[in-house]
Structure 1
Amino acid sequence: MPMLFKNLRRHFFSREFLLFLAVGCLNTFNGSLLASALEHFLDTNFAFNIGYILANLIAYALNSRLIFHEPLALEKCLKFAVSYIPNYLIQNVIVFIFYNQLGFPSLAAFIIAAVLGVPVTFLAVKLFAFGRA
């Protein structure tokens, strides 16, 4: 058990995680803004999905350059996309619950969803997409 805490501390109390949070804030803003703009033309849940995809393309570029100092590459972009599948599922469930079931405003649901998926996403991106242990 002490080794688990040591590993968690190493991952989450790092410069990489702080930068990931900063990029994540920008990504949350981008995704929420895009989804809010698109929901004027599309169903809210569909708008969320389109905003999510577009924002994550931006996030891949920022993570590659600013956090992990890697050149942009199709293989890494695909791994990055796969790394976001758990986050995508978590966020869709949260948007469904908060917006569709509880009646929260859509923007609030989008932001709550983004915040709750961060720790899982950071580990998936760091370990799988960029191969950092």
Structure 2
Amino acid sequence: MLPVLVTFPAAAQEGPRIAHQSIEGRPFSPAIQVGKTYWLSGKLGATGQTREMNEGRTAAETHNIMRSFQELLGELGMDLSNIVSATVYLTDIADFSEMNAAYTQYFPREAPARVTVAVAGLVGGAKLEISFIAVED
């Protein structure tokens, strides 16, 4: 397969094309802005308290993640209605229903596109991780 070179007109390249919302000492940015689109890094909801839970842990982690995204989006001048795509990583696909019940509370209408995948493990023993793509109005 041959690589493809894509070029854009000069007008499309005016001003800063990519804005990183970096945190010093971290090897990633919590948000990357290109035009009106924001790619939001995955968030984990595991805490010392959730790791001790026998029941409801997946829902608790989902709520922690969603509240964290609400805060980040607020800092960027947006809210959950700006989310257009989600990726959910679950360490156990059997937790899908519990995650989904908590997740849908944040998107009662007009939910974003979403993919959910099962993974072998996540950092810190988390049960799930969620990442989003958001677009400014």
TM more than 0.5: no
What is the TM-score when the length of structure 1 is the normalising length? Answer: 0.44
Structure ranking higher in helix proportion:
1
Greater RCO between the two (CA within 8 Å, min separation 6)? 2
